[in-house]
Amino acid sequence: MSRKQITGIGPTPRTGADDTGCPILHVDMDAFFASVELLDRPELRGSPVIVGSPAGRGVVLSATYEARAYGVHSAMPMSRARRMCPQATVIPPSHGKYTEVSKGVMEIFHAITPLVEPIASDEAFLDVGGARRRLGSPAEIAASIRAQVLERYGITCSVGVAGSKFVAKLASKQCKPDGMLVVPADEVVAFLHPLPVSALWGVGERTEQTLVRLGIRTVGDLARVPPGTLQRELGQAAGGHLAALAWGRDERPVTAHVPDKSIGNEETFATDVDDPETIRRELLRLSERVAARMRKSGHVGRTVSVKLRRADFSTITRSRTLREPTDVAQVIYTTACELFGAAGLERVRLRLVGVRLENLRPADSASHQLTLGERETGWREAERAMDRAIHRFGPDAVLPASLVRGRLDEMET
């Protein structure tokens, strides 16, 4: 194969793999949260670093590649990560810093093309087909992005260049860290078929087990199976989807400004909690955060869900769809408490709780009808007044009384 992989930041590549027909870029920051933290801790470069709770609760948010060499990865329980790499330096997360850098990186993308589809704070798809005449070939644009991110923020990213979103994302993963990989249109099949079947979107642990049982271990193995067989084993939609991906067929366009499908927050307790009052207080805190984010984003939602994780890491979720969409914390909180009570876990030790609002729509598209006896001025207006006070004086300027009492109790203990 002649596909071109480039590592490090060097001269803009003008030769190598043919990037004709490869307008899709997948840009993925390398160990993003950890890389941002190392900007303030340069003495830790080259050593294993984990971003997460130093108390050992919660999960790994990010890890340097030195820590990953010991098997540490994102979403792993912190307790397990520390056992696997006890010499790692653990840094608590600084979400404000990540948001600031992420915003700047996205601005670099938008200066190149309006067709930017963020996947997370640290990765995005770009369609640069319309930028070629102005900025050069897709490979040249990818190299420019990598150079700009390094120059402005001192961190690296990896870029996959291909004709589809699916192949571009696989390419960026293959060239990590700090690399670029172009997969020419006529070499997609040769690139895909040696990969493990788990590389395909939609192949989780259970699907992989089913495929391995059928003797399918690589993408090439799967490509040689008749689509009808896959559909019979995996279902009509999943079988057809994987059969198409195995041959590199992915027609999805890069879609700019994808709206949030849900907005939520969750919290891992410092120690497991079985006190219902403490859990309800946390549900209130989370409901306040979710409602504030909803109002800031200009959305309302109809479905409230709660996430409850027991001490043994088993997790249940409960949800309820409201009669009308809302962005009011009191409505979210009341529903969350009812869901918590119905789950039957009021005396069970919990390590994590979460609140989420789903089924979103723009706030200006949702009319609010007053229920019998409801005053025109109530919680919605009060919470918007709280938003203005918090914006001016800081996040602790206004708190519900129960949260103030809870904070005082914490200070006394």
**Residues assigned a catalytic role:** 123
CA gap 51, 280 in Å, rounded: 28
User: Across the beta sheet with 179-182, what order do the strands follow?
Assistant: 4-7, 179-182, 157-162, 24-29, 123-127, 116-120
Helix or strand run (H / E) with residue 93: none
Exposed/middle/buried for residue 161 (C-beta within 10 Å: 0-12, 13-18, 19+):
buried
Q: Which residue stretches of 15-94 are H helix?
A: 32-40, 65-68, 78-84
State the pairing for strand pair 179-182/157-162: parallel
Residue 28 annotated as lining a ligand binding site: yes
Helix axes 276-297, 401-412, angle to 10 degrees: 130
User: CB pairs under 8 A, 24+ apart, for 344-350?
Assistant: 345/308, 345/310, 345/316, 346/276, 346/279, 347/274, 347/276, 348/274, 348/310, 349/272, 349/273, 349/274, 349/310, 349/311, 350/269, 350/272, 350/273, 350/274, 350/279, 350/308, 350/309, 350/310, 350/311
Residues 266/286, Cβ–Cβ less than 8 Å: yes
Q: Residue 50 has which token pair?
A: 């984990």
Q: What DSSP line would sit under 301-331, residue for residue?
A: EEEEEEEEEETTS-EEEEEEEEEEEE--HHH
State the pairing for strand pair 49-51/89-91: parallel
Residue 122 annotated as lining a ligand binding site: yes
CA gap 209, 47 in Å, rounded: 36
| Number of residues assigned to the chain | 413
Going by the annotation, the residues of the binding site for Mg(2+) are: 28, 122
